[in-house]
Structure 1
Amino acid sequence: MKLEEIYMKLFDFSRPTYYKKKRESVPALSLIERYFSEKDLLEYLEKGVVSKYENNTDALLDQAIFSAKHKSITYFEQIDKLPSKQILFDILKKIDSNDSSFTVENSKMRLIDIISGAELQRSLIKNSQKQKLLTLLIEKYFSKIEVYAMIKYPKEVFDYAGLFGQTKFEK
């Protein structure tokens, strides 16, 4: 299919209308010519989507998982030396990663609320200090999407043997 035919089908133009709009330099045509390839337009006409633009959320989430993993290594291992990490693991094990009520926008606040109210079997004074440190680490160093990645994909973020001893995240 020729490019002019693609535009005619895309805009439901006749051939004379297409050439008239092209001569008039209609902004929509210029925009599409500049940012979409012929292949993109054909894919859109055939499938109703341009796949290279549909997968951006996966790329963002992959980056968030990588970043959360890197930050967890940095902050839990170098600063905290494990205690708050165990509290986080205990909490994440109790959260259903398929719970659709956790969104990118609310995950960080909800996790901090859960940590603040966490009742674990350790001594109250030690536990309270660990909870405060964990809350501070998450508030200060982790973005909303990184916390979302921790909740939704805990194994991908925390499952790396050897960095925290032999501890592996298991649900």
Structure 2
Amino acid sequence: MAALHPPKVEVFDPAARANIDPKGIRREVEEYREEPFGLYLARPTPGRAQFHYLESWLVPGLGLRLTDFWFSPGHERDQDFYLDVVRVRRDGPRWVATDLYVDIVLKDKLSLRVIDTDELLEALAAGVVTAEDARYALETTYAAVEGLAAHGYDLTAWLSTKDIALTWRRHP
């Protein structure tokens, strides 16, 4: 279990082509693309040994950030996508995502694993998150797990039922 921490907040600024991480570090973004259902970004991850590139979609209507990490040799993980449970709000042209601890590790068309519920429950017990945020995080997780399971853990198939078509650089 990770040390107790408040929810991590990340800023996505398409106009400035910037991504400001929870520590306040500004990262240059190669590509932003807004769609009616969400925001896409693609950027390198300098200084990260585990992965060298990432692509993410913020999908506010599902309460998810879906990420494809491009793992570096020797750091591969048995996953295709990583789904963070988030609350997303707009601040003018910027998108602000608050991570609500719970994550889903997806092996596309095979399986999923829900992780970090312990962090959410610890944060709730310590008063770091509200009961409303905890309920939202769990209900968002349940909805995603139910949707993915009903579609054979096929991300594209599940999202198509929501009229969401994601595009990725590595996944046709």
TM-score calculated relative to the size of structure 1 = 0.24
Higher normalized strand content (fraction of residues): 2
> Which structure carries more helix by proportion?
1
Larger radius of gyration between Structure 1 and Structure 2 = 1
What is the TM-score with the length of structure 2 in the denominator? 0.24
**Quick one: higher RCO (CA 8 Å, sep 6+), 1 or 2?**
1
